[in-house]
Amino acid sequence: MTETRNIEISELRHLVSERALEGETMLLNMGPQHPATHGVLRLMLELDGEEVVNCIPDIGFLHTGVEKDMESKIYQKAEVMTDRLDYLNPIGNNLVFCLAVEKLADLDVPARAQGIRVILAELTRLSSHLLWLGTSGLDVGAMSLFLYTMREREIIQDIFELCSGQRMMTTYVRPGGLWRDIPVEFEGAVRSFIEIMPRRIEEYESLLNENPIFLERTAGIGVLTYENALRWGATGPIARASGVALDIRKAMPYMGYEQYDFDIPTRAEGDVLARYLVRVAEMRESLKIIRQALDKLPYGPVNSNNRKYVPPPRSEIGVSMEALIHHFKLWTEGFTIPKGAIYAAAESPRGELGVYLESDGGSKPYRIHYRTPSFAALQLMPLLAKGHFVADLVAIIASIDIVLGDTDR
């Protein structure tokens, strides 16, 4: 077991200002068990009265060793671990892993599978934004919002359960396609969801947009300028709230995102309120994408025909010796991927989620690295928090929407 020890303030000399060493400012520990840190983030604060002079994030409390663990697992098993990285975006994590594998293995994905992947990825984005909206509402004192957003989130979880049997960790997206085709009830469930959702979003907005307390606590707080957003590698809604119109779905289209008509909502202010407005606008765009993808969804297979990567259907195993061999090979030693390295990126609810995958030609990844948006967003904390009050710090942490599983991996 790891031992704890007391540290002297002189050991922190490189982190804090001279004033802290003289005792003029106070050092305060926030987290890792704190309701406003959204997980197990620890922030070391240097305070002058109630004003934050410096804020030093301490991460690693949820370090899971996923990247190392994946090196000892065949690709199909390694994918199961990706769900648990960014646990608000499980299907997005699967998707970006599969994108990397498919790119490196030159594996085709049928159009129907691509359409279903897009619908599920956008539903995941909605569910992540809904949870974010509820919890960040809690942080600034809007209690009832949480109950409303979780109500809608349950509908999405039910849709995931319908197609995969699991509410959160679905592992539904597989290399070369999907686990299996969606059930017949899927379309009706999604259509009724996108039917009710616009009115529900209006309901949330009516609770917050003109609420003087909410505006007071968010407008002008934690401003991130356009230049700083680019300089610090911010992506996703944080960058878009600072005027950087960057969206991987438009910039580097994957899964046929180029065929859908949607906008990238941006704001110029770069404060907490702008990040809220961008995310809510994004929810509307996601609904637009889901509607188009459902209308366009073609019939056909949901898995690639390449039997070296995709297991054959059950019906084939009984009649074809070759199918039986493929099935056995795929589920015992897995498939092999040609030697090489690849970077694949997708737009997660938090920004650019990338996978760097290196293969040595074997059935296990030689090295896999995740470029996670939360990690890049968390380094903005000292920049955003300086000069604000501790109470504003809570709103700022909520607004950058970090998931510690994503940060620490």
Taking CB under 8 A as the criterion, the residue among 6, 10, 33, 332 binding another protein is 33
Q: How far is CA 242 from CA 64, 276, 318, in A?
A: 32, 12, 58
Q: How far is CA 304 from CA 101, 113, 171, 298, in A?
A: 13, 9, 17, 15
Whose tokens are 């002189």? That residue is: 10
153 binds another protein (CB under 8 A): yes
Question: ∠ CA(20), CA(25), CA(29), 5° rounding?
Answer: 85
64 binds another protein (CB under 8 A): yes
**Angstrom distance (rounded) from CA 156 to CA 364:** 33
Per CB under 8 A, which region of 98-106, 150-158, 192-200, 392-400 contacts another protein? 150-158
Taking CB under 8 A as the criterion, the residue among 13, 68, 231, 308 binding another protein is 68
x/- contact string, 324-363, with another protein (CB under 8 A)?
----------------------------------------
Q: Output the smallest distance, CB 204 to another protein, in A.
A: 14
84 binds another protein (CB under 8 A): yes
Taking CB under 8 A as the criterion, the residue among 139, 282, 347, 408 binding another protein is 408
Taking CB under 8 A as the criterion, the residue among 12, 27, 34, 284 binding another protein is 34
165 binds another protein (CB under 8 A): no
Q: How many CB atoms lie within 10 A of CB 142?
A: 20
Q: How far is CA 151 from CA 81, 113, 132, 358, in A?
A: 28, 28, 13, 41
Question: Per the structure block, which two tokens stand in for 167?
Answer: 């509410």
Q: Which helix (H) or strand (E) holds 397?
A: helix 390-400
Residues numbered 42-61 forming contacts with another protein, rule: CB under 8 A:
60-61
Query: Largest Cα–Cα distance of the chain, in whole Å?
Result: 81
Q: Which helix (H) or strand (E) holds 120?
A: helix 111-139
Residue at 22: amino acid letter: E
206 binds another protein (CB under 8 A): no
80 binds another protein (CB under 8 A): yes
150 binds another protein (CB under 8 A): yes
Q: Output the smallest distance, CB 243 to another protein, in A.
A: 31
Q: What is the binding site for another protein (CB under 8 A)?
A: 1-4, 32-35, 39-40, 60-66, 68-69, 80-81, 84, 87-88, 131, 134-135, 146-148, 150-151, 153-154, 157, 167-169, 404-405, 408
